Every structure is written in C-alpha cells, then in structure tokens.
Amino acid sequence: MEMKYPIFFVIGLILFVIAFFVGKKKKTKYKTGKRIANTRYLRESNYFKSQMRKYRIVNVITISLYLIIVLSSLALAARPIKISSRNSQMKTRDIFLCLDVSTSCSELDYQLVNEFRKTLSDVDGERIGIVIFNCTPNLLCPLTEDYEYIDSMLEKLLKAFEVVNDYYDSFFPILSNQDNLDLSYIFSGTTEDSSRGSSLIGDALAATAFDFPKHDEDRTRIIILATDNDLEGTPLISLPDAAKICIDKKITIFGIAPGKGYVRNFMTPDDEEEFGRVCNDAGGKLYELGTSSNNTMHNIFVDIEKTEAKIIEGNPITTVTDMPQKPFYILIVATVILVIIKEKEKI
C-alpha cells in the first residue's frame, strides 16, 4: 500500500512528536498541591505497588492508543492507495451490422435491433459499426469500441422501426412531428435516389466492405447482413459480386433472413437459397429470425467468437485504487477502546 500525499503523514508525525515532548516536559514540573512527608512506607506497601502497576499498564495502553489514533488519522489524510499495472489486450475483430431499412424489413429490424442491444453487454474488445441501406447505403456509425454510443444509435433505430410498424399496423395514421423526426433517422441518406429501386443489397454489401479501414487489414472482419433479399430495381453491384469483394477482402458474412410469422417480408425460396450460398461462400452462415426468437443475435455472436481473432497487447493500464479501509477501521477500534478506558477511570 502506498500513499498519494506522503508529505501529510511526515509533517503530521513531526508535529505530533514535538507536541508530545513539549507536553510531557510541562507535566514534570511541580505546579500546585502539598507535598507529603514520610511516604516511603506507603510506596512500599503491596497495595500501592499493585495500583502503580495497573496505572503504568493503563498509561502505556492509553499512550499507545493515542499514537495509533494519530498515525491512522495521518494515514487517512495522506490517502492510502493501491497502484496496479496491467497490459491491456484487444481483440482484433471488426463487426459491421448492415441493416436493410426498407419498410418490408421493419418487423425484422425491430426485433433484430432489440436482440443486438441485449447482446451488446457481452461484447468485449470488438469494434462495432452500423450501416443502414435501402436504395443507397448510409454509414450510420463507423467502427468504434464506444458501446454506449452504439447502444444510443440502436435505440434511435428502434424508435424509427416502431413508428413504421405502428404506421402499417394502424392502417396509415397521420404521423406526428416526432414520428417524422424518428423516421428521418432511417430514411435520410438511404432514399437519396429512390428511382433506382429499393433494397439494393449488393450495393450495400459492397459499400460496407469498403467501410473497413484499409490500414487494419490484419484484423478479422465480419458483416452481419439483415435483409429479406427482396430486390427491386437494378443495383450497381449484384449480391454475388458484392460477396466476391468480401471474399477478396477476407470478410466473413453472417446473414439474417425473416423466418415464419413476419407479415411484410417476401423471401422466395430462390432468394433464400442465393442469400445462404453467399454467406457460406464468405465463410459465414444464414440465420432465420422468427417472431418468437430464441435470441438469434446471441447465436451469431457465439459463432463469431469461434472465428479467429488475434489478440494484441495494448498500452499498459495503471489503476489507482483508494484503500482507506484498514486505517479507518484501526482508527475506529482505537477510539472506542480509548473511550472505554476513560470511562473506567471515572468510576
């Protein structure tokens, strides 16, 4: 155990020693009272000797307690601390969550984001990013280890998907200003060129592949792609071609498709077969997210943990922890004992 302000302890101890000897010197001087002659017989009696022994013992204990109280108080003033150092380790794994935010995927997205927020508490060391897309992809959040920020982004997405779901479930009600503000979070940047169509999955997958930093190519790279693969329009890059880009960049693809029970999702067997083949070719796997989920995101992260991730040593981390417990407990115990002794002396 070390002290953050040891100078307080040293100065306090010097002042205590000076005060102790000055006070002791004054006490040895005779001030008042009457001297008694012929006390030799009294001092040699067994009773007197017994009482003097008790007095000396109590006196030594009392002085010791005063010393302990002063030392523990000085120790608290000096702020005892524990300094520990360790080398931080980081997993070199980057994960992009790529969400199809077309209206047909809002049910899927709502449940998926809900699950992702719950799973986020188990993530440690990975960098997470978010891309949303419809007719154009939008980098909503670049790769970061700030999980609180990621969670705040997911919360905003959740509100937007909730508005979309309520809008369709309630037969197109009039939207409030707040509803429109929430919806702008997923529509701004993803519908810039709606004439090209919607759910342009290949474009989004390719764009996400290029969102990984070039200088971190030695890191494990993963894309979690959630879509119903219901392509409408003509993409710049097809889904298989985008998958080849991912394979060339050594990016693993985990896909999430809507399972049974979703009302507005239209994944044909051919679309599902293509989506599954793309994920398998890129070293990943296709999952189905059902309406009664068993936490698909958790299962995905279990599989992600099986992928290779290099561990790199980060900068040394020094932790300073306050340790006031021992001197505080000693101070309390010594004070209580001293009070008890003083009360006994009065009796």
From first to last of its 347 residues, what are the pLDDT tens digits of the chain?
688 888 888 898 888 888 877 766 665 555 566 667 777 777 788 888 888 888 888 888 988 998 899 999 998 888 888 887 765 555 678 999 999 988 888 888 888 898 888 888 777 778 999 999 988 899 999 999 888 999 999 999 998 888 888 776 666 666 677 767 678 878 887 887 777 777 889 999 999 999 998 876 678 899 999 988 778 888 889 999 999 999 999 999 999 888 766 555 556 788 888 999 999 999 998 988 765 555 677 788 888 777 765 555 556 667 788 888 898 999 999 999 988 888 877 65
Give the model's pLDDT for residue 97.
94
232 to each of 127, 200, 327, 338, how far by Cα in Å? 32, 7, 72, 86
For residues 78 and 177, state if they share a domain: no
Q: Domain for residue 36, yes or no?
A: no
Residue 94 bridge partners (DSSP) = 127, 221
Contact 260, 223 (CB under 8 A): no
Q: Domain for residue 287, yes or no?
A: yes
For residues 70 and 189, state if they share a domain: no
For residues 158 and 192, state if they share a domain: yes
Q: Domain for residue 21, yes or no?
A: no
Residue numbers of the domain that contains 132: 93-309
Residue 216 bridge partners (DSSP) = none
Burial class (CB in 10 A: 0-12, 13-18, 19+), 167: middle
Domain count, the chain: 2
Q: Domain for residue 97, yes or no?
A: yes
The secondary structure of 187-215 as a DSSP string is: HTTTSTTGGGEE--HHHHHHHHHHHS-GG
Q: Domain for residue 5, yes or no?
A: yes
Assigned token pair, 42? 């009294």
> Residue 190 belongs to a domain with what CATH number?
3.40.50.410
Q: Domain for residue 32, yes or no?
A: no
Sheet with 2-3, edge to edge strand ranges = 2-3, 80-91, 311-322
For residues 300 and 194, state if they share a domain: yes
Label residues 247-276 b or e (16+ Cβ within 10 Å = b).
beeebbbbbbbbbeebebbebeeebbebbb
For residues 106 and 124, state if they share a domain: yes
3-state secondary structure of 216: helix
For residues 5 and 110, state if they share a domain: no
For residues 336 and 194, state if they share a domain: no
For residues 304 and 203, state if they share a domain: yes
96 to each of 110, 207, 237, 252, how far by Cα in Å? 17, 11, 19, 10
